[in-house]
Structure formats: C-alpha cells, structure tokens
Structure 1
Amino acid sequence: MDRLVYTAMTGARHVMEQQATVSNNLANATTTGFRAQLDAFRAVPVVSEGLPTRAFVVDSTVGTDFRSGPIETTGRPLDVAIRDTGFLAVQSADGSEAYTRNGSFKINENGILQTSSGQTLIGDGGPIAVPPDTKIAIASDGTVSVVNDNYAPGPSNTLGRLKLVNPDTKNLLRGDDGLFRQADGTPAENDPNVRLVDGALEGSNVNPVDSMVNMIGLARQFEMQMSLMKNAENNAAKATQILALS
C-alpha cells in the first residue's frame, strides 16, 4: 500500500507544478515578447531488492518555447519588434546584462531609454540618453537617432545603437524576473544580423486554446493520482479488517 501511495504522490505533486506553469503561461498570453515556459518530467525506476515494479516522477530540464510571436503594428516611435531570432540587451536590477524580447520602450524622468518594465537598454556606449524636446527614431539595425522639435525639418543626431544579440538558446536560462541570461554568466556578442521592425510589437507566443486544453488534461491526471491514493487507502482498510478477523 505504502509503495502505491508514494508513487501516486510524486505524480500528483508534479502535475500540480505543471498546472502552475500552464497558469503562468496563460497569465502572460498578452505580455509583449513573452516566451512560453515548458515543463519536462521523467519516470525513474526505484532500485531495490524487490522487483522493479515501481517508478517515481522527477524533475527534468525546464525549457522555453523560443518560437516567435505575432507582430502587430502600433505606429508608436518607441515600439520595436525583433524580426525572427535575437534579443535586446538590458541592464537588470542587479546590474548584470540580461536579454528580452520586450520592445516596448519608454524614456524615464532622467531621459534614459528603458523598457516598459523599467530595465535600462544597453547601447554600444552604455545607456542611451535622449535629449528633451526631440523626436526619436529607431532604425532596423538598432541605431537610435533624434530630431530637434525646434527645427522643421531638423538635422538628425545619432545617439547610439542598441545592443542586439543572438546567443544560442540552449545556453539561455530564464530568471525569476522574466529576463534571460547566458548559463555561464558571460555577456553575449553583438550580432549585426539581428533586425528590428519599428512601430510594432511582438506578442506572446502562448496559445491560449492549447494552454486551456492542457490545463483540462492536467486536472484529469491529478484526479487519477488522487483516485490511486484513495484505492490504496481502501486496500489498507480491507487488509486491516482481514487481519483483525484472523
């Protein structure tokens, strides 16, 4: 009985973890540049003196779906979308370099170009400062330029170039802040082949319909594990009655 309980318990616990992952994906179905998280589990046989009839569920590598999301035109000068593969380099809260697909930018009170989440964008010479009373434009290669509003038409001044990278996705790890970093902690190299689409944003690559179907399937799997534990309890009660009669 106890063997069945522990086997069903590990299965139920990891089904709950999968449900949490799917719920997080659904919550970010409209988040700009979000990449769906994937859970992977594997069965491990229990090695003992008895017959190899039991298996436990253990965590395997947690991955990410790096497929591109839909690109929607916004017409906003501070919106960019990455075409195909690649990432924008930003400075995370701890000062380290991280990577994101969120191309919704803003200019903070100090004139520094940031993402909508508040991470400072990294340029070829550090953070990019935008002068006041200017109109900003971002080229497909990441070059940021401005035109003074006091002149019509005014000369274009280049402020810098966004750092665009394209590291191997196998070496990227997702942090608790939703940003990606290289597993060895080293900064990625600039990739001149990464291209931007100005005035557009990339949506999440989460498919809400598939996620809802997956959630229903996980709920049924959880009920099955609970049923096994209930059967184990009933078997133990029957065995106790037989022992009491003898």
Structure 2
Amino acid sequence: MDRIIYTAAGGAARVLEQQAVISNNMANVSTTGFREQLAIYRSVPVVGHPGMPTRVSTVTSTPGSNLQQGTMVETGHALDAAITGDGWFSVQTPQGEAYTRSGEFAVNTQGLLVTQQGFPVMSADGAPVEVPERGAVTFSGDGQISALGAGDNPNDIQLIGQLKLVNPPAADMVRGDDGLFRVAGGQAAQADPQVRMIAGFVEKSNVNPAEAMVGMIANARRFEMQMKVIQDASANAERANSILSTN
C-alpha cells in the first residue's frame, strides 16, 4: 500500500512542478521578448532497490524554450527595436554577456543604451553604446546606430556604433534565472551580420494564453486524480487494519 501512496505522491509533486512552469509562462504573456519555457516528464531509475531494477520514478525537466518568434507590435518609439527572424540582442550583465529578444531600450543617466532591467546594450566592438546627451537615436536594419544631437543640423547626423546582433545555435542557448539566455559553457557568441532588426517595433511574448490556460486546467485535474488515489489507498489500508485487528 505504501508503494501506491509513494507513486501517487511523486506524481502529484511532478504535476505541481510543471504547473509552476506553466504559471510562469502565463504570468509573462505580456512580457516583451519572453520565450515560453517547456516542461516535460521523464522517467528515472529508482536507486537503492537492487532487487527491483525495473522500478522507475518520474521528474519534471525543462529541456529548453520555445524560440518561435512572437508577434511584432509597432510602437513608434525611436528606442524600440525588434529582431526579424532568428537572432538576439547582446547585453552586459554582472555574470557576463547575455542575450535577449526584448528591444525596449532606454537611455540611463550615464548616457548608456540599456534594457528595461538596466543592463547595458552591447555594440559590435564589445563596449556599451553611448548616446549623446538629448540625442535623437535611429536604428538601421543591420543594427547601426545614428544620433542627432539637440539643435544640430539634420545633415550632421553621426554614426555612433552598431548593435551586437548574434545568432548562436539554438541548442547552445541556456535560459538563466534572470530570464536572459547565455551560450552553454559561458563563452560569448560572435556577431552575425545576417541578423536583421526593425526599429519602432517590439516583439511580444510567444506564449499562447489559451494553450497555457488549458495546460493549467489539465494539470489541476491530474493533481486531483493523484490525491484521489492517495485517499483511496489510505481508506483501503484502514479497512484492512480493521479486518486484521483483534477485539
């Protein structure tokens, strides 16, 4: 009987773990550039039972992310940008270089182009992008950045750098706890001149709200089923004890 309870309890725990992943996806439906996290069940051998080599348990694993492109939304903001097709923006974090699809950029008090999280956006030469004070910034399709200073002649527009756009193999990309992606092994990806972007747009999350909601409901039902198995096993054990007990 304890094996039934152990198996059902393990299944319920796995359902809760997957529910947490789906809930996180659902919470980021409106997050710019968010990539849906995938969660699956997989079997693992039960260690410590040499007499029962066929027994297995299950764990919830997150093998990767859905890297399909999200919906492009036009904002008209000069500092907004979205990558068309495959590719990533490069940003500098305390843990090293990381990559994101979120192109909602801003200029901080130090005059650096940064993400909404405050991470500096990297240029093709590996340095943060510096924006002239009160300068009007424009992006080209290949990531080149031009700026026109306040009060300058429109003909005096200057090229201040080029965004580092990368496109490492999808299999090498690892999601971090901060929501950013990095190349497995910690090395920096090389700039890819084939990556293209469009200014005045942002890419929305690629999470499908309907599918996420259906997944949450299905997991809730699975959890109820596991709890029912535990309740029935407990009730059966009580009946067996009552039969075997002596008055």
TM-score range, shorter chain: over 0.9
Give ranges in structure 2 of 5+ residues lacking alignment: none
What are the within-5 Å matches in structure 2 for residues 95-110 of structure 1?
A: 96-110=96-110
How much does 1:194 deviate?
A: 0.5
Structure 2 equivalent of residue 166 of structure 1: 167
> Is 1:235 equivalent to 2:236 in the alignment?
yes
TM-score (norm 1): 0.94
How much does 1:169 deviate?
A: 1.3
What is the CA–CA distance in structure 2 between the aligned matches of 1:100 and 1:224, rounded to whole Å?
A: 39
Structure 2 equivalent of residue 223 of structure 1: 224
What is the CA–CA distance in structure 2 between the aligned matches of 1:119 and 1:133, rounded to whole Å?
A: 20
What is the CA–CA distance in structure 2 between the aligned matches of 1:209 and 1:58, rounded to whole Å?
A: 25
> Is 1:73 equivalent to 2:74 in the alignment?
yes
Q: CA RMSD in A?
A: 1.6
SS in 1 for 2:159: strand
| Change in CA separation of 1:147 and 1:7 when aligned onto 2, cut-off 3 Å | same
What is the CA–CA distance in structure 2 between the aligned matches of 1:35 and 1:87, rounded to whole Å?
A: 12
How much does 1:61 deviate?
A: 4.5
Structure 1 equivalent of residue 88 of structure 2: 87
Give ranges in structure 1 of 5+ residues lacking alignment: none
Partner AA of 1:98 in structure 2: A
Structure 2 equivalent of residue 178 of structure 1: 179
The Cα offsets for residues 197-222 of structure 1, whole Å up to 9 and x where unpaired, read as 11000000011111011100000000
Could you tell me whether the CA contact under 8 Å between 2:70 and 2:203 is conserved in 1? yes
Could you tell me whether the CA contact under 8 Å between 2:37 and 2:62 is conserved in 1? no
What is the CA–CA distance in structure 2 between the aligned matches of 1:239 and 1:98, rounded to whole Å?
A: 59
Between the two proteins, the alignment pairs up a number of residues equal to 244
Partner AA of 2:12 in structure 1: A
SS in 2 for 1:212: helix
4+ aligned runs moved over 2 Å, structure 1: 43-52, 59-62, 151-154
The Cα offsets for residues 13-66 of structure 1, whole Å up to 9 and x where unpaired, read as 0100111111111110000000011112113465653594x5421233431111
> Is 1:196 equivalent to 2:197 in the alignment?
yes
The Cα offsets for residues 113-159 of structure 1, whole Å up to 9 and x where unpaired, read as 11122110111230111111321101111111101231342312111
Structure 1 equivalent of residue 21 of structure 2: 21
> Is 1:59 equivalent to 2:70 in the alignment?
no
Could you tell me whether the CA contact under 8 Å between 2:103 and 2:115 is conserved in 1? yes
What are the within-5 Å matches in structure 2 for residues 42-53 of structure 1?
A: 42-44=42-44, 46=46, 49=51, 52=54
Could you tell me whether the CA contact under 8 Å between 1:40 and 1:63 is conserved in 2? no
| Change in CA separation of 1:151 and 1:11 when aligned onto 2, cut-off 3 Å | same
SS in 2 for 1:19: helix
Could you tell me whether the CA contact under 8 Å between 1:148 and 1:154 is conserved in 2? no
Identity among equivalent positions (%) equals 45
What is the CA–CA distance in structure 2 between the aligned matches of 1:66 and 1:119, rounded to whole Å?
A: 22
